[in-house]
Amino acid sequence: MTGDARPRRRHDGRRAAILALDTATSRIVVAVGSPGGEPLGLSTWTAGYRHGEQLLPSIGRILGEANIRRSRLRGVIVGTGPGAFTGLRVGLATAKALAHGLRLPIAGVSTAEALIAAAAAAGRIPGRRIVLLLPAGPADRVVARLGIPARLLPGGADPDLGPTDVLVAIDLDGRAPADALAAGERARERLGHELLRLGAERLTAGADDLAMLVPEYVSLPRGVTAPEPAGGGVEWSRDPR
């Protein structure tokens, strides 16, 4: 596993903290921060196919390096996607297990919303100008904007861009302009910060129902097909069953 851990501040282990994790993209993010969302430590690494094997040990490592006891955690934040099936399944299951086992509130944060906020902060531009592109299988892509549900772009289709829109692309090497990919990398560097900030706000406003929190998939497990909805196109299921 490759990655980086950047504890912001050490203390005696008795300080309250929140934990955030995201497994929606090709890079896993684990971050720990104050209950107000101030970053205290961050670890990221390329996911590969070992999400379940790497995630829990990395959570323990980042808590240890920030000198934060699990008993002092006050909430769990998890990125809900859009993203691929395997990563989101592992991330949501891990976050739910931690929240249940430690009796902590949990808050789901849209990975797309957090990436858009990160791109806006990195580029010092309003978030409403950001158009985010994510992969959806070998040919399709997903487009997301603030306040608008993410939607599928079939292979060969391009997003509608206004004159002031800024394109940001994640995990789309060879399938997006170079400047959009560069903006995506800058946004990815701040993803942990924005997960903590947004998650702290969600926890303050009211935690999610543990049983009802579900991910936003953009691809289904191999061999599983989704029926086309009546209106055409592809939709993400919010059914928690």
Please name the amino acid found at residue 75: G
According to the model, what pLDDT value does residue 217 have? 81
| Contact in structure between 42 and 4 (CB atoms under 8 Å) | yes
114 pLDDT band, cuts 50/70/90, is: very high
Query: pLDDT tens for residues 48-77?
Result: 766 667 899 999 999 999 999 999 999 999
Residue 125 C-beta-side C-alpha neighbours within 13 Å: 14
Band (131; pLDDT cuts 50, 70, 90): very high
Question: Could you read off the pLDDT of 203-227 as tens digits, one per residue?
Answer: 999 999 999 999 988 765 555 554 4
| CA atoms within a 13 Å half-sphere pointing along the CA-CB vector of 123 | 26
Average pLDDT, the chain: 87
One-letter amino acid at 138 equals P
Q: How confident is the model at residue 234 (pLDDT cuts 50, 70, 90)?
A: very low
The amino acid at residue 100 is H
- Collapse the DSSP code of 62 into the 3-class scheme (helix H, G, I; strand E, B; otherwise coil) and give the result: helix
Least confident among 2-11, 121-130, 152-161: 2-11
Residue 6 has pLDDT above 90, yes or no: no
Domains of the chain: 4-111+190-205 (3.30.420.40), 113-186 (no CATH)
- Looking at the chain, the whole-number percentage of residues with pLDDT higher than 70 is 83
CB pairs under 8 A, 24+ apart, for 174-178? 175/135, 175/141, 176/133
